[in-house]
Amino acid sequence: MSTESIVLGGGCFWCIEAVFDLMEGVISATPGYAGGVTPNPTYKEVSGGLTGHAETVQVEYDPQTASLEAILELFFQVHDPTTPNRQGADIGTQYRSIILYTTEEQGKRVAEYMERKRGDFTKPIVTELKPLQRFYRAEDYHQKYFEKNPGSGYCRAVVAPKVGKAARKLGMAG
């Protein structure tokens, strides 16, 4: 099987990971940091907002089962691409909307998709689009966070509603 990957940031990476874990054709959704300048950043450094990195998720997928357009459609459904440096109560550049592409062709397709989506929103799309330079996997305790901590306050209040929305979008029981 030939796979592709793309790195998406749309607020807290726990939400994005949990949403893409639901999608058929997604092989893995790995929380991490990307889009910044600090090498080997830690969660504490990224949350401080000084590394330039965003909380992101590297989505590895089978393009025969999960198209790039389907991945982008779900991504744009579960976060607000019109809010600069913020998703809900999470504020700062580390929570910005960002797509980091892994090939020039993928970048072109994402740019075309975003151009088509502009009419779907009342405010301009501010999603940053740039080539992936480096993805840094987040610490182990961030991996599968929602799956391991569904009863935590943040997971109940923020992650679970996004997972429910994604499940409905994907035609699953929500």
- What per-residue confidence (pLDDT) applies to 174? 52
**Rounded mean pLDDT, 46-67:** 97
Which tokens in the block code for residue 106?
Answer: 């993928």
Q: Is 27 helix (H, G, I), strand (E, B) or coil?
A: strand
- 145 touches 136 (CB < 8 A): no
- Residue 106's pLDDT is what? 98
Mapped onto helix, strand or coil, the DSSP state of residue 51 is: coil
Residue 171, exposed/middle/buried by CB under 10 A (0-12, 13-18, 19+)?
Answer: exposed
Could you give the percent of the chain with pLDDT greater than 70? 99
| Structural contact between residues 136 and 58, judged by C-beta atoms closer than 8 angstroms | no
Architecture of domain 4-169: 2-Layer Sandwich (3.30)
pTM, two decimals, is 0.96
- Write down the domain spans for the chain: 4-169
**Partner residues linked to 86 by β-bridges:** 91
Of the residues 12, 34, 70, 72, which is catalytic? 12
Active site residue 12: yes
* Distances in whole angstroms, Cα of residue 25 to Cα of each of 53, 56, 73, 167: 27, 19, 14, 14
DSSP SS3 for 90 = strand
Mean pLDDT across the chain: 96
pLDDT, tens only, 21-42: 999 999 999 999 999 999 999 9
| Helix H or strand E segment including 72 | helix 68-78
Residue for token digits 């999608």? 23
d(CA 75, CA 47): 22
Residues in the chain, how many? 174
Q: What share of the chain is helix, strand, coil (3-state, %, to 5)?
A: 40, 25, 40
- How many other C-beta atoms can be found within 10 angstroms of the C-beta atom of residue 125? 16
Q: Determine the distance from the C-alpha atom of residue 146 to the mean position of all C-alpha atoms in its chain, rounded to a whole number.
A: 14
The predicted structure's pLDDT at residue 1? 77
